[in-house]
């Protein structure tokens, strides 16, 4: 073959090869048949230290790498604790002086993932068993001021934990030799911690200063996950060593296989996890559940093909960083991410009449709704002389009237695409004490009744008799953005219909916080997301010792009611049951009348899943639920190909151009050879 012909043939073959291989698939072809869950993330994790990490994206990683003594039932609502690494959920036992003890017994043969740090325990060691001393070490880290755990206030109820932190800090400052000791040696020398009693290789007892049943929820979070001292001692971040904050060594169902936190994070199934090593145990947190909440069976969440099977079903979790929501959602529609939220730019295309659009159904996409354990509310500063408690029944009726003017359903329609449930009490769905049938008489919009209450309050038609003008109030806010101002105007317009003059005083967030500290505010809007699913975590927001202005707590309303306080103290020390429910109901009635809050809505999350994802049930809480998911990788691979057929006309045009340009040269070459 002549040189020209060889050149033309090679170029043609190259173009055809490009046509055949043209694809926008971002993943290796070999991964197409793997049970891999693909998820996007936007901001990189701040830390992977379980005693410190608090953000959702942090927990997207450490929730799988670090296991916990307790967990949550995947399907049941209200949320129910189940045993994890511990053999059972312990019950509190009085030990004198008002103190309460909880005893945890670890399962046998729990193992940390393989890691070089274990060479500190013995030459050539790559792993070891998890023992009770590891629980004690992790709790000591919570009390260590150098670690800076954000949950010390809650776990500080463990007898002696705060005192331990003070001792170790003082010794480090006063004794350089002590400060140079390895971390485990420091903890031993500064210990023991009275309320953390290691009773054997697999048993530890936690003693609290007083009754606090909610402590068990903290043992279902990574803050109390066992951590090997070898990892903390090895990964100091000094002298070129990795930092423990970016080199986790856990005992969970997955291990961190790759950590490029600004681009890609890979979690690989941990073959040393107890659920993998011992499926015969049928351990609750390592087995797909056989029962759930009402409606779960109808939703396919109790499929016999999964019930009782060992977890996890996935071989890998891939997290890819995406900075912009629209390209991320596009990749979801192409099948390159398995789940997605609903972005506002595409909401009307995706959701129609409160359900999935026909286009989405055609793609086999599922919509999963979950009400978050959270609340958004409007509050009154109860220290204020006009809207607060000082004017007694007069200001109470003013607050009741203002509550009746706010239509939460309309607010959700205008500002949240209807995603949410109008709130009736501080307790959202999924929390013990929530009653779906309860209708707060002051949260059903009724302008006529509101006007009558204003008359009784001494403000007929909204007029302040001392001025002869509409009663002037201030709505204080820490957001000056256009979207936020529209929401604020929704509230003030509602109150204007009663004849009230409510002025929006929007400032920067820091300026607003300063107002709150000084008590220089009247009406505000705020929200709360549960740290753990217990009514105490919401009702404490109105407990007087938590007052914001005087005590720096989260009771921004500065609400104080002696009977409510008395009931709260009783309620928080009780376990769930009929008696606790009676106490919660009485607290609800007090708040219903006093109106320190106008409960606005419980936010609802819409999640989209492709049809190849099995067993999805969003929790609302930041929980590691991916171990329950399964992927039909074959179906995904076929649909990805179908949905992403390459646009080949540019390549064919290039081939035509090659023929047009090269062919005359070939003809000329052949003629010259004749």
pLDDT at position 660 over 50: no
Select from 260, 226, 256, 264 the least CA-distant residue to 112: 226
Question: What is the rounded CA–CA span in Å between residue 528 and residue 378?
Answer: 12
Q: Identify the pLDDT of residue 108.
A: 97
Lowest model confidence (mean pLDDT) among 9-13, 262-266, 300-304, 590-594:
9-13
Q: What is the mean pLDDT of residues 637-647?
A: 89
pLDDT at position 134 over 90: yes
What are the backbone angles phi and psi of residue 231, rounded to the nearest 5°? -70, -45
Residue with tokens 């009773």, as numbered in its chain: 199
More confident residue, 353 or 538: 538
Which secondary structure element, helix H or strand E, spans residue 38, and what is its range?
Answer: strand 36-41
The predicted-structure confidence for 253-284, as pLDDT tens digits, reads as follows 999 999 999 999 999 999 999 999 999 999 99
What does 568-619 look like in DSSP terms, one character per residue? HHHHHTSPSSHHHHHHHHHHHHHHHHH-SEEEEEEEEEEEEE-TTEES----
Which is higher by pLDDT, 449 or 664?
449
CA distance 349 to 211: 51
| Confidence bin at 622 (pLDDT 50/70/90) | confident
* Distances in whole angstroms, Cα of residue 8 to Cα of each of 4, 11, 663, 669, 673: 6, 5, 8, 12, 17
Residue written as token pair 């070490």: 137
> Looking at per-residue confidence, does 2 or 224 come out higher?
224
Residue 647 confidence class, pLDDT cut points 50, 70, 90: low
Average pLDDT rounded to a whole number, residues 129-134: 98
The answer, yes or no, to whether residue 402 has pLDDT greater than 60, is: yes
The token duo for 129 is 């068993």
Which pTM value belongs to this model? 0.86
Q: Are strands 374-380 and 597-609 parallel, antiparallel or unpaired?
A: antiparallel
What contacts 24+ positions apart, CB below 8 Å, involve 203-206? Answer: 203/103, 203/104, 203/105, 203/106, 203/132, 204/103, 204/104, 204/106, 204/132, 204/135, 204/136, 205/101, 205/102, 205/103, 205/104, 206/101, 206/102, 206/103, 206/104, 206/139, 206/158
Produce one character per residue of 12-49: b if its CB has 16 or more CB atoms within 10 Å, e if not.
eeebeeeeeeeeeeeeeeeebeebbbbbbbeeebebbb
In contact, 533 and 621? CB cutoff 8 Å: yes
Q: Helix 482-496 crosses helix 393-405 at what angle (to 10 degrees)?
A: 120
At 354, the pLDDT band (50, 70, 90 cuts) reads confident
Supply the pLDDT for residue 504: 95
Please report where in the chains the tokens 């950590």 appear, as a residue: 259
Inform me whether the pLDDT recorded for 82 exceeds 80. yes
| pLDDT for 486 | 95
Show the tokens assigned to 616.
């999805």
Task: Give the phi and the psi of residue 40 in degrees, each rounded to 5.
Answer: -90, 160
Q: For the residues 551-578, what does the mean pLDDT come to?
A: 94
Predicted confidence at residue 170, as pLDDT, reads 97
- 377-394 mean pLDDT: 96
What pLDDT does residue 658 have?
38
Task: For domain 374-605, give its CATH number from 1.20.120.160, 3.40.640.10, 3.40.50.300, 3.10.105.10.
Answer: 3.10.105.10
Q: ∠ at Cα 132 (126, 138), nearest 5°?
A: 80
**pLDDT of 388 above 90:** yes
Q: Is residue 2 scored above 60 in pLDDT?
A: no
Query: Residue 648's pLDDT is what?
Result: 56
The band of 662, judged by pLDDT with boundaries at 50, 70 and 90, is very low
Lowest mean pLDDT among 256-265, 455-464, 541-550, 639-648: 639-648
Report residue 113 as tokens.
């993932």
List, in sequence order, every residue forming a beta bridge with 260; answer none if it has no partner.
264
Ordered by start, the domain boundaries in the chain are 3-22+646-673, 374-605
Q: Mean pLDDT across the chain, nearest whole number?
A: 91
Cβ-based burial of 426 (10 A; exposed 0-12, middle 13-18, buried ≥19): buried
The pLDDT, as a whole number, for residue 667 is 46
Res 19: pLDDT: 44
Q: Is the dihedral of CA 461, 463, 468, 469 positive or negative?
A: negative
């Amino acid at each position: 073959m002549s040189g020209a012909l060889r050149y033309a043939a090679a170029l043609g073959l190259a173009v055809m090869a490009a046509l055949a291989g043209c694809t926008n698939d971002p993943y290796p072809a070999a991964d197409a048949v793997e049970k891999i869950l693909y998820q996007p993330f936007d901001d990189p994790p701040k830390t992977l230290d379980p005693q410190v990490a608090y953000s959702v994206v942090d927990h997207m990683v450490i929730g799988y790498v670090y296991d916990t003594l307790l967990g949550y039932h995947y399907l049941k609502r209200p949320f129910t604790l189940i045993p994890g690494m511990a053999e059972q959920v312990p019950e509190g036992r009085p030990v004198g002086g008002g103190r309460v003890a909880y005893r945890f017994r670890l399962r046998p043969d729990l193992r940390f993932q393989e890691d070089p740090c274990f060479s500190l325990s013995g030459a050539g060691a790559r792993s070891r068993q998890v023992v009770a001393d590891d629980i004690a070490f992790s709790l000591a880290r919570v009390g260590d001021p150098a670690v800076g755990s954000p949950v010390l206030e809650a776990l500080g109820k463990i007898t002696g934990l705060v005192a331990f932190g003070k001792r170790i800090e003082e010794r480090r400052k006063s004794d350089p030799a002590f400060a140079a000791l390895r971390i485990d040696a420091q903890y031993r020398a500064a210990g023991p911690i009275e309320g953390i009693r290691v009773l054997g290789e697999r048993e530890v007892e936690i003693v609290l200063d007083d009754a606090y049943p909610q402590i068990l929820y903290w043992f279902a979070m990574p803050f109390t996950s066992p951590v090997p001292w070898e990892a903390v001692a090895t990964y100091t971040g000094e002298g070129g060593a990795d930092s423990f904050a970016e080199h986790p060594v856990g005992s969970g169902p997955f291990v961190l296989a790759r950590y490029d936190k600004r681009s890609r994070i890979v979690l690989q199934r941990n073959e040393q996890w107890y659920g993998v090593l011992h499926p015969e145990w049928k351990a609750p947190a390592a087995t797909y559940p056989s029962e759930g909440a009402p409606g779960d069976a109808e939703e396919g969440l109790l499929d016999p093909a999964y019930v009782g099977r060992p977890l996890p079903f996935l071989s890998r979790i891939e997290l890819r960083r995406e900075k912009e929501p629209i390209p991320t959602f596009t990749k979801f529609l192409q099948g390159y991410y398995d789940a997605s939220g609903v972005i506002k730019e595409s909401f009307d295309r995706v959701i129609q009449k409160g359900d999935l659009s026909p286009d989405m159904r055609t793609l086999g996409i599922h919509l999963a709704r979950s009400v978050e354990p959270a609340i958004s509310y409007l509050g009154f500063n109860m220290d204020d002389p006009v809207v607060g408690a000082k004017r007694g029944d007069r200001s109470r009726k003013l607050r009741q009237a203002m509550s009746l003017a706010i239509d939460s359903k309309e607010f959700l329609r205008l500002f949240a695409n209807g995603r949410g449930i109008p709130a009736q009490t501080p307790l959202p769905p999924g929390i013990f004490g929530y009653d779906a049938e309860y209708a707060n008489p002051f949260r059903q919009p009724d302008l006529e009744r509101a006007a009558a209450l204003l008359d009784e309050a001494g403000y007929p038609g909204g007029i302040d008799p001392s001025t002869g003008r509409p009663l002037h109030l201030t709505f204080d806010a820490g957001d000056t953005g256009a979207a936020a101002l529209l929401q604020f105007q929704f509230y003030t317009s509602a109150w204007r219909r009663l004849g009230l003059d409510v002025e929006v005083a929007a400032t920067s967030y820091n300026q607003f916080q300063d107002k709150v500290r000084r008590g220089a505010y009247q009406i505000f809007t705020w929200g709360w997301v549960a740290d753990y699913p217990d009514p105490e975590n919401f009702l404490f927001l109105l407990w007087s010792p938590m007052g914001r202005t005087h005590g720096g707590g989260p009771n921004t309303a500065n609400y104080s009611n002696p009977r409510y306080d008395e009931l709260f103290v009783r309620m928080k020390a009780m376990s769930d049951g009929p008696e606790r429910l009676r106490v919660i109901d009485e607290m609800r009635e007090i708040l219903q009348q006093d109106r320190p809050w106008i409960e606005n809505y419980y936010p609802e999350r819409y999640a989209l899943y492709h049809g190849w994802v099995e067993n999805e049930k969003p929790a609302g809480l930041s929980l590691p639920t991916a171990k329950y998911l399964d992927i039909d990788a074959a179906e995904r691979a076929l649909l990805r190909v179908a949905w992403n057929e390459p646009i080949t006309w540019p390549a064919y045009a290039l081939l035509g151009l090659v023929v047009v340009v090269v062919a005359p040269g070939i003809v000329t070459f052949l003629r010259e050879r004749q």
